[in-house]
Amino acid sequence: MTFLSPGFLWAFALAAPLVAVYLLKVRPRRHAVSALFLWDRVFVERRSSSLLRRLRDAISLAMLLAVLIALALGAARPRFDGTDHRDVLLIVDRSVSMGESDDGATRLDRAKREAERVLAALPAGRRGGVAALDDRLDFLCFFTADRRRLRDAVRSITQTDLPSDRRALSSIDQLDDLAERVRIVLVSDGVGERFEIPEGVECLAIGDAPAVNAGFVVADLVFDADSGGIALLFQIGASVGVASDAAADVTLLRDGAPIKIMRTEIAPGINEPQYYTLPGESGEYALRLDMAGGLGADDMAYLVAHNPPAMRVGLAISNPYFYAHAVSAFERAERLMTLTTETAGADVVVASGDAARASADGDGPRLGYVVFAPPVESVWAEDVGEAIESPIARAHVDDHPAFRYLPIELLAFAGARAMRAPEGAAVLVEDASGVPLVWQMRAGEKPALVFNMDPALGDFVLSPYFPLLIRGAATHLAGRNIPPASTYATGSAGVGAGLSADEGRRVTAPDQEVRTVDAGGAVVFERAGFYSLESRTGARTLAASVLHRGETTDAPLEPLPEAPVGLARGRPVWVLLAVAALIVLVAEELLYHRRKVG
């Protein structure tokens, strides 16, 4: 044992005057009395109780010496040899599964109590840090010896709807070097779809008993415009603690009111998917699993049946026959685009040749332009020159949404001419000689995709790739190239969402938090519920649900490592010594408050 403040050991010297006080005998004063027989009884009673009095004084002295020893040792701050003296970084798991209720308290509550016990047991001067883990690692309090800051950081940790991803632990810079100076302790239930704990991270396991939980792991809802109804799909996962013959009601709600109740049998593991075709319309729905106990967060699935209006595509082309058929093909098959004779007010304008010059000067579309064969002296290109013979295309952006389903590097680009893309344009495809073949730019406030080719040459308008190119370019400008899902898993990102990819979005989360997503950015779903997205060109509602098999079935992929060895939890030794000294001192005063010295 060693002492951090050995100077306080000199307090043991106070034992000498304390003992001297108890051994001190006070000589009684002599007084003359008129009758001695009156004092005989007093002397007899005093002799009979002298042994008891001496025993009582000895016990009192021992108790006060114990108080003195406890206070002196506590002030000297003892430290036991072999104790790990590194700073401690506590990482508390706050993922979905930590909301599981055990004996009336959630696992997160238990984890926070364990974290506070570890921090309370840190010796004085030893630093601690606090971080929270779900699908990322957030540092809440960097290394400090301030116990109040550490305690407040632990108490500020709240439950999230995100899955746990132990790979986030690798975000600690230079983990190997850090482990030599800092003791890293993860307080977790060990549940997650991706369970990887780096070497050097110790674990405090929470929630050893098998959980009784069931929840949604798959949910989807599609609006069918042909039948005017909805198609519903859901799948339930259950933990090993659920009875093999369990059953529960699944309720489909619209605006909070139940419209369909489905009785479902539930067994441990991933159950068979359930399909239903129901009358309904597009809009917001919710699925509720009516089963007592369990996690709770995965008992609800939020869904949106999307029925976005078809994009209005206007044509600014001298001979629009083949272009009109390309648009009409997707109007019939997907209800994705509809042809309009007016370019003013159209969502997307497809232009070619000299007509493209006029369309740029007139009333433009809401969302953007698709331009073929840009004319001389226009906003679409600069320094337009002679035709290029057999251009060889080289794509700068792999898998671009505008030509994702096309072999863009195999297209002939008939009618391509030498030219330069306007300043600020992003070249997506160019010729081997450096001539741009496809670029994205802005015409005023509107985005545009420009193709250095004439589809009428080389019979490209007869190719099945031609309507695909029209569709890809138009849906990219309108943000419709990736249709929004009926629901997204929490922690995932929604791209497109039916809004123009060139615009920023104002996002209102289920907890009414409002944030802005820049143009081209994705919406990250951190909470389960409905999200409202607004932009200059429209609004959409998206939904997010807790759909994580590992969190719902409560099945770790591998057991947690053994508990940390030598990790103190509870109160520091000096606190325990101080409390013990106070208790003994109070007891001594209550027992011997009438004692007199001598």
Domain ranges, ordered by start, for the chain: 2-28+36-82+577-592, 87-209, 217-307, 311-478, 488-545
What does DSSP say about strands 514-517 and 505-508: parallel, antiparallel, or unpaired? Answer: antiparallel
Q: What letter represents residue 392's amino acid?
A: I
Fold agreement (217-307, 311-478): no
Asked: is 87-209 a CATH 3.40.50.410 domain? The reply is yes
Q: Which two tokens stand for residue 93?
A: 């798991």
Cα–Cα distance for residue pair 270/255, rounded to 1 Å = 29
Cα–Cα distance for residue pair 269/274, rounded to 1 Å = 15
Q: Which fold has domain 311-478?
A: Rossmann fold (3.40.50)
pLDDT digit of tens for each residue in the chain (598 aa)? Answer: 565 566 666 666 766 776 676 666 656 667 676 666 666 666 555 555 555 566 566 777 777 777 777 777 666 666 555 555 678 889 999 988 888 876 778 889 999 998 998 888 777 667 889 999 988 889 999 888 888 899 999 999 999 999 888 777 776 655 555 666 788 888 888 776 555 677 778 888 887 666 788 999 999 999 887 777 899 999 999 888 888 888 999 999 998 899 999 999 999 889 999 999 999 888 999 999 998 767 888 999 999 998 888 889 999 888 889 999 988 888 776 778 888 877 877 889 999 988 887 766 556 788 889 999 999 888 999 999 999 988 889 998 878 888 888 888 888 899 999 999 999 899 999 998 899 999 999 887 788 999 999 998 878 888 889 999 999 998 888 877 777 889 999 988 876 555 555 555 788 889 888 887 765 567 888 999 999 888 766 678 889 999 988 888 875 545 555 555 556 555 556 566 677 777 777 777 666 654 444 3
Q: Please check whether residue 294 is in contact with residue 284, taking contact to mean a CB–CB distance below 8 angstroms.
A: no
SS3 state at 477: helix
Rounded to 10 deg, the angle between the 321-333 and 465-478 helix axes is 70
Q: How far is CA 271 from the centre of its chain?
A: 27
CB proximity list for 221: less than 8 A, separation 6 or greater: 230, 231, 232, 233, 285, 303, 304, 305, 486, 487
Under CATH, domain 217-307 is a member of which superfamily? Answer: Macroglobulin (MG2) domain (2.60.40.1930)
Q: Please check whether residue 349 is in contact with residue 316, taking contact to mean a CB–CB distance below 8 angstroms.
A: yes
pTM: 0.72
Burial state string for 48-77 with b = 16 or more CB within 10 A and e = fewer than 16: eeeeeeeeeeeebbebbbebbbbbbbbbbb
